[in-house]
């Protein structure tokens, strides 16, 4: 799988190389650089994957990753904890990806074969079933964006129902039912193993 | 018979799945339950698939260095601060142009010969003010009228043209300012977290 190198020269367009200008400007941000670096290192990969899952487009995920952190840093919010920060970050990402869907009519999760590593077979349910990554990607791509969001938050990141409700913007008591439906739909698409009932 | 939507053992299955230990390190009895319970079977299948995919993708992706994102955010914050700081200047500009337009219009009203202007009602609240402006603007030129009739006409119509130009320029500047401001700040519905 060829990963996009976002660290290459020119991958990010900066308007100035003047460090003192950056230092001056950074006073408007609510975290210092060291704290941000730690937070970024803990969350950036999972956020990118989340955005990619929502958008189905690598370059769009790259763009929104930066946009999400930029908005997060400039937000005037008193964060109570790391969890609060993460939740807020994912809320921004969710809103941005939702708007991108709405205004640019991005087709979610269009998966091409060259994006899927040949060796990445995911072992599911032991020997009973082997679900290829391609099959999983395609199944995810055929879900509705909200279903995909909820499933990814719940099982990709282990978010609680309350966190999912906050990030997706739905009532907490609806999460269980909606999650059950989405899970059932995905399991059907993946070809659930027959039970022994 | 409706399908079950939950199972009391979901949490047990989820705990093992989230640790990445399903099915190898799951309790035998729990595994047997999951093969017969539709809810837990789906949970195990979907949970393990997404958990593994999340791990694989997170290890593959390369993200920009934090300092690049930091710098970009700092510069954007600076631009935002500059925009906020310039807001009072915009208000001052608008007021200046409005004032200029009013003065220009008043001058215009005073310079245009009375014969050109249709008769205005005399019983309005602004009548005394209009008369005052007209008298102030017209008095100097009228003083020359007898001796320098030709020059007075040139001055009068030159003044009319100049006043009209001031009004038009004020309107144009205002329009440009407002247009620029709207272009700088496109509708951005994206940032509405929490």
pLDDT digits (tens, 9 = 90+) for B94-105: 787 777 777 777
Residue B83 CA from chain centroid, whole number: 11
Range A62-83 average pLDDT: 89
Give per-residue pLDDT as tens, A11-37.
444 444 556 666 666 666 777 888 899
More confident residue, B80 or B51: B51
Torsion of CA A89, A94, A97, A103, to 10 degrees: -120
State residue A154's pLDDT score.
92
Query: Encoding tokens for residue B168?
Result: 């038009």
Band (pLDDT 50/70/90 cuts) for residue A117 is very low
Chain B residue with minimal CA distance to A150?
A: B50
How far does the CA of residue B185 sit from the closest CA of chain A (Å)?
16
Higher pLDDT, B147 or B82: B82
- Distance, in Å, from the CA atom of A172 to the CA atom of A30, rounded to the nearest integer, reads 29
Q: Within the 18-57 window of chain B, which residues sit less than 8 Å (CB to CB) from chain A?
A: 18, 22-24, 35-39, 41-54, 56-57
Task: Verify whether the Cβ–Cβ distance A37 to B52 is below 8 Å.
Answer: no
Query: pLDDT tens across B12-62, in order?
Result: 988 888 888 888 888 889 989 988 898 999 999 999 989 888 888 888 888
**Are A136 and B49 within 8 A, CB to CB?**
yes
Beta strands in A60-148 (DSSP E): 121-124, 129-132
Q: Three-class SS of residue A114?
A: helix
CA-based nearest distance A82→chain B, Å: 15
Q: Is the pLDDT of residue A68 over 90?
A: yes
**Confidence at residue A175, expressed as pLDDT on a 0 to 100 scale:** 92
Does the distance separating the beta carbons of A66 and B46 come in below 8 Å? no
Q: Would you call A74 and B75 a contact, using CB atoms and an 8 Å cutoff?
A: no
Given a contact cutoff of 8 angstroms between Cβ atoms, the answer to whether A175 and A165 are in contact is yes
Is the Cβ pair A92, B191 closer than 8 Å?
yes
* Residues A8-26 as b or e (16 or more Cβ within 10 Å = b): eeeebeeeeeeeeebeebb
**Chain B residues 66-85 within an 8 A CB cutoff of chain A:** 66-78, 80-81
| pLDDT number for residue A2 | 42
Q: Which residue has the higher pLDDT, B70 or A3?
A: B70
Average pLDDT, chain A: 77
- Residues of A within 8 A of B66 (CB-CB) are 33, 36-37, 40-41, 44
* DSSP label of A29: S
Question: Widest CA span of chain B, in angstroms?
Answer: 119
Alpha helix segments (H runs only) across A56-81? 58-74
d(CA B167, CA A70): 44
- The full DSSP string for B65-92 is -HHHHHHHHHHHHHHHHHHHHHHHHHHH
Give the model confidence (pLDDT) of B123-160 as tens digits.
Answer: 667 667 767 766 666 555 566 556 666 666 777 777 77
Q: CA A79, CA B194: separation in Å to the nearest integer?
A: 12
Q: What is the DSSP letter of A191?
A: T
For A75, residues 6+ apart whose C-beta sits below 8 A from its C-beta are: A30, A88, A92, B193
Say how far apart CA A183 and CA B6 lie, in whole Å: 12
Predicted confidence (pLDDT) at residue A70 exceeds the cutoff of 60: yes
Nearest CA in chain B to A187: B42
Chain A partners of B26 at a C-beta cutoff of 8 Å?
A: none
Instruction: Say if CB B41 and CB B35 are below 8 A apart.
Output: yes
B178 or B119: whose pLDDT is higher?
A: B178
Mean pLDDT of B78-93: 79
Provide the token pair at B67.
Answer: 């300092």
Number of cross-chain residue pairs from A and B with Cβ atoms under 8 Å apart: 196
| DSSP letters spanning chain B | -PPP---TTHHHHHHHHHTT-TTTTS-HHHHHHHHH-HHHHHHHHHHHHHHHHHHHHHHH-----HHHHHHHHHHHHHHHHHHHHHHHHHHHHHHHHHHHHHHHHHHHHHHS-TTTSPPPPSSSTTHHHHHHHHHHHHHHHHHHHTT-HHHHHHHHHHHHHHHHHHHHHHHHHHHHHHHHHHHHS---------
pLDDT at position A128 is 38
Q: Report whether pLDDT(A143) > 50.
A: yes
Q: Which pLDDT score is estimated for A71?
A: 92
| DSSP 8-state secondary structure symbol assigned to residue A129 | E
d(CA A22, CA A33): 11
CA atoms of A25 and A74, how far apart (whole Å) = 11
Q: What does the alpha-carbon distance between residue B34 and residue B10 come to, in Å, rounded to a whole number?
A: 9
The distance of A45 to chain B (nearest Cα, Å) reads 5
Reduced to 3 states (helix: H, G, I; strand: E, B; else coil), residue A124 is: strand
Per-residue pLDDT averaged across A144-170, rounded? Answer: 91
Q: What is the mean pLDDT of residues A165-178?
A: 90
Predicted pLDDT at B186: 41
Q: Are A1 and A115 in contact (CB under 8 A)?
A: yes
Q: A43: which chain B residues are within 8 Å (Cβ-Cβ)?
A: none
């Amino acid at each position: 799988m060829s990963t996009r190198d976002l660290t290459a020269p020119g991958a990010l367009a900066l308007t100035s190389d003047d460090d003192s200008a950056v230092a001056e400007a950074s006073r408007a941000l609510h975290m210092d650089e060291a704290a941000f670096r730690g937070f970024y290192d803990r969350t950036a990969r999972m956020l990118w994957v989340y955005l990619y899952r929502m958008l189905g487009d690598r370059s769009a995920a790259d763009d929104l990753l930066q946009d999400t952190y930029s908005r997060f840093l400039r937000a005037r919010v008193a964060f109570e904890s790391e969890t609060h920060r993460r939740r807020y970050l994912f809320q921004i990402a969710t809103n941005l990806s939702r708007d991108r869907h709405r205004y640019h009519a991005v087709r979610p999760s269009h998966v091409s074969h060259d994006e899927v590593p040949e060796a990445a077979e995911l072992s599911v349910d032991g020997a009973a079933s082997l679900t290829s990554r391609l099959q999983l990607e395609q199944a995810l791509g055929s879900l509705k964006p909200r279903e995909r969001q909820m499933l990814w938050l719940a099982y990709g990141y282990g978010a609680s129902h309350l966190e999912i409700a906050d990030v997706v913007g739905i009532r907490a008591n609806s999460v269980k039912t909606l999650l059950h439906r989405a899970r059932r739909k995905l399991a059907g698409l993946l070809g659930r193993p027959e039970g022994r009932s | 018979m409706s399908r079950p939507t939950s199972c009391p053992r979901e949490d047990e299955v989820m705990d093992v799945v989230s640790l990445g230990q399903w099915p190898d390190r799951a309790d035998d009895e729990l595994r047997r339950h999951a093969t017969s319970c539709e809810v837990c079977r789906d949970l195990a299948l979907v949970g393990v698939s997404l958990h593994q995919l999340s791990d694989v993708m997170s290890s593959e992706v390369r993200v920009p260095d934090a300092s690049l994102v930091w710098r970009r955010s700092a510069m954007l914050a600076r631009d935002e601060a500059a925009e906020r700081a310039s807001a009072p200047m915009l208000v001052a500009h608008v007021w200046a142009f409005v004032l200029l337009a009013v003065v220009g219009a008043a001058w215009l009203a005073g310079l245009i010969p009375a014969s050109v202007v249709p008769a205005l009602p005399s019983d309005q609240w602004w009548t005394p003010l209009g008369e005052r402006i007209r008298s102030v603007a017209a008095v100097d030129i009228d003083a020359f009228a007898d001796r320098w009739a030709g020059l007075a006409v040139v001055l009068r119509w030159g003044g009319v043209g100049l006043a009209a130009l001031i009004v038009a320029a004020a309107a144009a500047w205002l329009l440009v300012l407002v247009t620029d401001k709207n272009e700088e700040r496109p509708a951005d519905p994206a940032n509405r977290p929490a």
